[in-house]
Amino acid sequence: MSASDEKITIYLGCDGFGQDLLNSIKEHLNTKEDITIEDLGCDTYYDAAAKVAKEVTNQNPNSKLGILFCGTGMGVGIVANKFGGVRAATCENVTAARCARAVNNANVLCLGGMVTKPDIAINIVDAFLKQQFIHRPCCGDTGEPVPWWSDGVETFLSTSMDGIQKVEKEASLYGAKK
């Protein structure tokens, strides 16, 4: 989990194609003492994504995260990313989940119930939750650190959130002009 001993709140949401996978992940997460689960229910993929996104937008990603489920994980991810301060990542393997947190400071994990088996999803979720932003991630199941990480990467990432906020502001102004 996070570097601190604080409880983390995880908001869950899904559409009908992601319901079974949500239930599997929820059962797994309920075994962890340092996690509070908020299941926001099953809805259309876009409404489920909006519900979770509203809960995590601009929140501390070490205390509030979201996990969304649909058929592929892509639909919920596209919609969640419409909300400023949300960095949703559709991940189909452990390395992608670790990199989503380490490099992109992702605060919403998106999974596909039609493309990801529950045992694989559990590993992806655990990797996502364990990984911290600007901490060197490891590759897949080997545990070997990624070879491309450097001080230069860490320096870039230390200012990347400011850059992303600037682009989000610009994007919102651009959209308002249309």
- In angstroms, rounded to a whole number, what is the distance separating the alpha carbons of residues 19 and 92? 17
**Distance of alpha carbon 43 from alpha carbon 75, whole angstroms:** 13
Q: What are the phi and psi torsion angles at 45 (to 5°)?
A: -60, -35
Residue 138's DSSP bridge partners are 145
Burial class (CB in 10 A: 0-12, 13-18, 19+), 120: middle
- State the DSSP H helix or E strand holding residue 112, giving kind and residue range, or none if neither: strand 108-112
- Residue 69, classed as helix, strand or coil, is strand
- 69 forms beta bridges with 14, 111
Q: Is 139 a catalytic residue?
A: no
CA proximity to 26, closest of 42, 50, 4, 47: 42
Catalytic residue among 14, 70, 99, 138: 70
- Catalytic residues, by residue number, are 70
